[in-house]
Structure 1
Amino acid sequence: MALLVVLGLTAALQAAASSGSIDEFINAEMPASGTPGLAYAVVEDGEITSGARGEVLRGSGDPVTPDTPFLIGSISKSITAMAVMQLVEAGQVDLDAPVSRYLEVFADRPSGAITIRQLLGHTSGYSTRQGNGAHTDQSGAEDALSQHVAQIAQWTPAHQPGTVWDYSNANYQILGAVIEAVSGEDYAGYVERRILAPIGMENSFVADGERHDGVARGHLPWFGTKRPVKDSRPNRVTAPAGGVIASADDLARYLAVMMNGQDDVISADSKADMLRPASGASPNYGFGWSLDAESGTVFHTGTSRGVETLALFVPAERKGAVVLVNAGSGFGFGETATLRTGLSATALGLDHDGDAGGWSRKSVFLMFALLPPFFVFCAVWAWLHRDRLRAKSGFSGLVSIWLPLPMMIALAWTALHLIPALFGISIGTLYLFLPDMALMMMATAATGLLWAVFRLGVFYSGRS
Structure 2
Amino acid sequence: MPGASLAWIEDGRTVAVRGFGSVDAAGPEPVTPETAFLAGSISKHVTTVAALRLASDGLLDLDRDVNGYLSEWRMPTEPGHPATARMLLSNLGGLADRPQLSDGYHRHDVVPSLLDVLHGRSPARTPAVELAQQPGTEFRQNSLNFSVLQQAMTELTGESYPELTRRLVFEPLGMTGSSFDPCWPDTEGRPFAHGHDADGRQVSAGYYANPEPAAGGLWTTAADLAALAAELRRCYLGRERGLVATELVREMLTPQSGRAYGWSTILDTTGGDLEFGHGGQAYGYQAMTWMRVHSGRGLVMLSNAVTGRELIRHLIATELSGRIRLTGEWQRAIEEAVGRERGGTA
TM-score range, shorter chain: 0.7 to 0.9
Q: How many residues align?
A: 318
CA shift digits 1:307-339 (9 cap, x unpaired) = 00000111122221101111113xxxxxx3341
* Equivalent residue in structure 1 for 2:64, among 97, 102, 105: 97
After TM superposition, the score normalised by the length of structure 2 is 0.81
Equivalent of 2:85 in 110, 116, 120: 116
Summarize the alignment of residues 50-449 of structure 1 with structure 2, pairs less than 5 Å apart.
Answer: 50-104=17-71, 105-106=73-74, 109-110=77-78, 113-127=82-96, 129-130=97-98, 132=100, 135-136=104-105, 139-140=110-111, 144-151=113-120, 155-209=129-183, 211=186, 212-222=189-199, 226-235=200-209, 237-260=211-234, 261=237, 262=239, 263-278=241-256, 281=257, 283-295=259-271, 296-329=274-307, 336-343=308-315, 346=318, 348=319, 350-351=321-322, 430-433=343-346
Could you tell me which residue of structure 1 aligns to residue 331 of structure 2?
none
Residue 46 (structure 1) aligned with residue 24 (structure 2): no
Aligned-residue Cα RMSD (Å) equals 3.1
CA contact (8 A) 1:313 1:320 kept: yes
Give the drift of 1:292.
2.4
Q: For residue 321 of structure 1, give the secondary structure of its aligned residue in structure 2.
A: strand
SS, match of residue 303 in structure 1: strand
Instruction: Quickly say closer, same or farther: Cα 1:118–1:422, change in 2 above 3 A.
Output: farther
Is the alpha carbon distance of 1:158 and 1:166 closer, same or farther for their aligned partners in structure 2, counting shifts above 3 Å? same
The code of the aligned residue for 1:215 comes to: F
Higher helix share: 1
**Residue of structure 2 in register with 1:414 after alignment:** none
Cα deviation, residue 169, structure 1: 0.7
Residue segments in structure 1 that go unaligned for 5+ positions in a row:
1-34, 330-335, 357-419, 434-464
* C-alpha distance in structure 2 between counterparts of 1:106 and 1:180, whole Å: 14
Counterpart-to-counterpart distance in 2, 1:421 and 1:245: 20
Quote the offset at 1:274 in angstroms: 1.3
Q: Is the Cα–Cα contact under 8 Å of residues 126 and 171 in structure 1 kept in the other structure?
A: yes
| Identical residues among aligned pairs (%) | 26
Residue 36 of structure 1 is matched in structure 2 by 2
Contact 2:100 2:345 in 1 (8 A): no
Q: What is the Cα deviation at residue 266 of structure 1?
A: 1.5
Question: Does the Cα contact within 8 Å between 1:86 and 1:265 map onto a contact in 2?
Answer: yes
Counterpart residue identity of residue 299, structure 1:
G
Q: Which consecutive residues of structure 2, in runs of 5 or more, have no partner in the other structure?
A: 121-125, 329-335
* CA displacement at 1:61 relative to structure 2: 0.7
Rate the CA distance shift 1:251–1:108 in 2: closer, same or farther, 3 A.
closer
